[in-house]
Structure 1
Amino acid sequence: MTDQTHGTHDLSSKPRIQPVQEGDTRPVSVSVRLGRLQFHDSGKFRVLVLADIQDGPKVNKDTVKLIEAALDSSRPDIVIFSGNQIAGYDKAYAKTFRKRTWTPQKWSVGSSATNQRDSELEHTRELVRQEISQFLAPLIERHVPWAVTYGNHDFQCGLSNAELDEIYREFPGCLNPEPPIKRSDRPRKQPGSGLPNQYIYPCEAGTFVLPVSEDHKSDSVLGLVIFNSGDYGKLGGYGAPSQRALDFLKVAPKLVGAKSIVFQHIPVPQYYNLLKEVPTTAAHAVEGYRTFAGHNYVIDESKTLPGSFLGEGISCPDTDTGEFDILKSTDGYFALLAGHDHRNRFVGTTEGLRLFATPTCGFGSYGPAPAQRAARLLEFDIRHPYEPRTQLLEFGDLVGKSSSNKPYTYALNGAPDAAKEGTNLLRRPRLIAQILRKMHLKK
């Protein structure tokens, strides 16, 4: 990663990708036009990350507006959903709600009870389809491929991640592959993804790797590892990825043949390395989570990009799962991106790995002020593919004033959360927002 303070590359040049124009019916994703995830002739490749939609069957309309505006202003090659798309605790899923994956659902015994259970689960499937169709509609309309992983709330609706995977694959653009029976080193293609020439190395639901090719060549330059980081721990707090997923992480860069970036839901404990401990009375101090409770932190500006913001304690597992050591020891990774903590928005480097904390894009649960709910854009350059530039595409900039009825916000540290992170990857975003709003009014 480079930026105007830390980097060695000139970021003053404007990106060559233009906002979508009225009347342009081509797929927004350049990769879809090319048939696979691939750097463009411009030397660029773009990933848009949507974290923590976390809503029920009726998705908040401001969430959809943000997704639409972020797609039109950034024109990504692929969208990655980093988990907790489904608020499984929503009252609509009450009859099939499952608090923990290891807790059996309480069903009555008997044929009539079995029929009722099947009926209730099928109803949940329909509600999940209803929700997914709403936040995917902007992507499907614009022909943008996408991939999903899972968080600690998706399964709580009563459907396993594997069952959710099956539902996602019903929708156009899905890159989530069917898990292999045995081997993960045999690539496959995903029908309906819009990328007929795209190879995918599968592992399990929410865990797989996507190679990104050099322009006009078959050689892989970059790997996008979609990773299921787990949900809850049996002793409390958050759990660990499955052993199968961790083993896959060890070999994924070799399968791709290039260094990779990991996209997941729950951050690893090493995110705390980007903070510095301060007294309780220090300005804007935030208390750590569980294992880190009793200690107070602020952003370490010497390790993070300007504009980085700590809005809540980093909610990582109580014990180190070993994931970070795998990323370092394989020498096949350069970055890790997580969501989960809805108010955190920072980027920094520790032990040679770049860590991204991405805030919620959703209006269905808690988070920052409406204007600062955002999607994260990553722009990769073929000249230095492991140093992506990043920008948070904020609701206030792209859409304007929220129409929601005061979405749930809270501030743990009282710090102003208005600083912009990284650099501006868009051409005059406020002008773009005005154009998009005018186009929307014409519909």
Structure 2
Amino acid sequence: MTETQRTPEGMSSKPRIKPADAEDGRPVSISARLGRLQFHYSGKFRVLQIADIQDGPKVSKDTIALIEASLDAARPDLVIFSGNQIAGYDPAFADSFRKRRWCDEPIAESALNHTRALVRKAIGQFTEPLAARGIPWAVTYGNHDFQCGLSNAELDGIYREFPGCVNPPSETLPNQIAYTCGAGGAVQTLSGATGSGEPGTFALPVMDVDHTRNVLGLVILDSGDYVHGGGFGTPSPAALAFLNAVPDRIGAKSMVFQHMPMPEYYNVLKPVAANAAFAMQGYRSHADTYYVLDELQTQPGGYLGEGISCPDTSGEFELLREGYFGVVAGHDHRNGFVGEHEGLLLIATPTCGFNTYGPAPAKRATRLIEFDIRHPYEPRTQLLEFDELVGKPSSKRAYTYAVNQTAPGEGEGDDLLRKPSLWSQLSGLFR
């Protein structure tokens, strides 16, 4: 896997996949046209991850611009929102704010109704670009979504009101099988708009072009929020049992998309002195150590802008040793890297939001992951950054921190969106 973030030297700026003609009213997503997730005749399948929008009822114009530009450049089969879409602490939700799930202060029904309207307004803004292009999408939850006062179960129901949502039960992809997390983690098989399960936790198999077999699975996981006594939570016991059982049902390896990174993400970092260049302090049980990316464990082009904020222990990694090939997380707004630990890809994606903290506005990004049917467990990925896709932000309000890793050099890695220009190919013959 290659992590790339800049246009390699000598490459054109034209997308590899040309946009449909203006009069072509078909969905951009090939999978949406077919009613199921499957590889194209080209042998490719694309997922776009959107992490940490983390906004209130008025979503930043720059966030929407980045989403639109990413969709047009990548033309994904599926988009996955990996949690913290809603900034539950936003002042607009003050009357229904719930700091922790276990807080039991009563909330007036009038306040909840107001929050429901505001949440629908926010969701409508950041999903409209997908609806306009006919691209299906899935969603899971982070540690701030519920703080608006609505449970993840209620949020799940609201998301399913919007066109394109594939969270089960859903009619968006009528030919798609979905596996949901039932009681105790039991794997339930759903087809179409029937059944239910633990919100934000389900699995979607991706089939071959002849839809005769599952090539890989996409597991969307609610990774938890907080625990009593401080720190971040873990997936529920039912969700962990579901993770353990899914591989046998899909019959192929899967990639997990979740909000919270696992503690094992620290294994792709390298301890350094506190005064070392670009050093970042760890979190909680790692707080006495400073880190940088380990160049032997991570792909070129990544950066570490904050310590890994994760649960102290989770037990999740052990369940992923068999039947999985990677985990994609958000949560840490200033981190963007691809690592590998004991054969499992560990991917961190920065925020795409402009009304929350993060890297410099130019580096707010979404993440494209491209699977090739010839080697489906070795996907390629890159960050689609704001400055390259959109340009200058319309506002300077973005809450920024400098990233702590040196920027990748020109020409480093592959670019999934671009191909060499004719001139660069010809000129290369004379070098």
Please report the TM-score for the alignment, with normalisation by the length of structure 1: 0.86
- Kept in 2, the 8 Å contact 1:221–1:258? The answer is yes
The equivalences for 1:70-81 within 5 A come to 70-81=70-81
Partner of 2:29: 29
Question: Does the alignment pair 1:55 with 2:58?
Answer: no
- Kept in 2, the 8 Å contact 1:176–1:190? The answer is no
- Distance in 2 (CA, whole Å) between partners of 1:256 and 1:181 is 16
- Distance in 2 (CA, whole Å) between partners of 1:122 and 1:63 is 26
- The partner residue of 1:334 within 319, 325, 341 is 325
Partner of 1:374: 365
Partner of 2:390: 399
Partner of 1:344: 335
- Kept in 1, the 8 Å contact 2:2–2:382? The answer is no
Shift of 1:427: 2.2
- Distance in 2 (CA, whole Å) between partners of 1:223 and 1:426 is 24
Partner of 1:438: none
**Residues 152-174 of structure 1: CA distance to partner in whole angstroms, max 9, x if unpaired?**
00000000000000000101111
- Distance in 2 (CA, whole Å) between partners of 1:76 and 1:254 is 27
The equivalences for 1:300-319 within 5 A come to 300-318=294-312
- Kept in 2, the 8 Å contact 1:16–1:42? The answer is no
Letter in 2 for 1:400: G
- Distance in 2 (CA, whole Å) between partners of 1:343 and 1:119 is 37
SS of the aligned residue for 2:191 comes to coil
Letter in 1 for 2:269: L
SS of the aligned residue for 1:248 comes to helix
**Residues 135-193 of structure 1: CA distance to partner in whole angstroms, max 9, x if unpaired?**
000000001000000000000000000000000010111111146764843321344xx
Question: Does the alignment pair 1:324 with 2:326?
Answer: no
**Residues 402-422 of structure 1: CA distance to partner in whole angstroms, max 9, x if unpaired?**
002331002374x44566885
Partner of 2:214: 220
- Distance in 2 (CA, whole Å) between partners of 1:181 and 1:397 is 43
- Distance in 2 (CA, whole Å) between partners of 1:303 and 1:258 is 25
- Distance in 2 (CA, whole Å) between partners of 1:239 and 1:129 is 27
Partner of 2:256: 262
Partner of 2:346: 355
Question: Does the alignment pair 1:240 with 2:242?
Answer: no
Shift of 1:76: 0.1
Residues 257 and 15 of structure 1: CA distance in aligned 2, closer, same or farther (over 3 Å): farther
The equivalences for 1:35-434 within 5 A come to 35-107=35-107, 117-178=108-169, 182=183, 184-191=186-193, 203-318=197-312, 320-328=313-321, 331-411=322-402, 413=404, 415-417=405-407, 422-427=413-418
- Kept in 2, the 8 Å contact 1:20–1:75? The answer is no
Gaps of 5+ in 1: 5-13, 108-116, 192-199, 431-443
- Kept in 1, the 8 Å contact 2:2–2:414? The answer is no
The CA RMSD measured in Å over matched residues stands at 2.2
**Residues 268-300 of structure 1: CA distance to partner in whole angstroms, max 9, x if unpaired?**
010001110011111111110111002000110
SS of the aligned residue for 2:388 comes to helix
Residues 170 and 314 of structure 1: CA distance in aligned 2, closer, same or farther (over 3 Å): same
Partner of 1:433: none
Letter in 1 for 2:72: D
- Distance in 2 (CA, whole Å) between partners of 1:162 and 1:201 is 14
Shift of 1:237: 1.0
**Residues 119-146 of structure 1: CA distance to partner in whole angstroms, max 9, x if unpaired?**
1111110100000000000000001000
Letter in 1 for 2:191: K
Gaps of 5+ in 2: 5-13, 170-179, 422-431
How many residues align? The count is 400
Partner of 2:174: none
- Distance in 2 (CA, whole Å) between partners of 1:264 and 1:360 is 14
Shift of 1:203: 4.1
- Distance in 1 (CA, whole Å) between partners of 2:250 and 2:109 is 41
Most deviating of 71-80 and 404-413: 404-413
Shift of 1:202: 6.2
Residues 417 and 202 of structure 1: CA distance in aligned 2, closer, same or farther (over 3 Å): farther
If asked which structure has higher relative contact order (CA below 8 Å, sep 6+), I would say: 2
- Kept in 2, the 8 Å contact 1:336–1:353? The answer is yes
- Distance in 2 (CA, whole Å) between partners of 1:429 and 1:59 is 36
- Kept in 2, the 8 Å contact 1:185–1:201? The answer is no
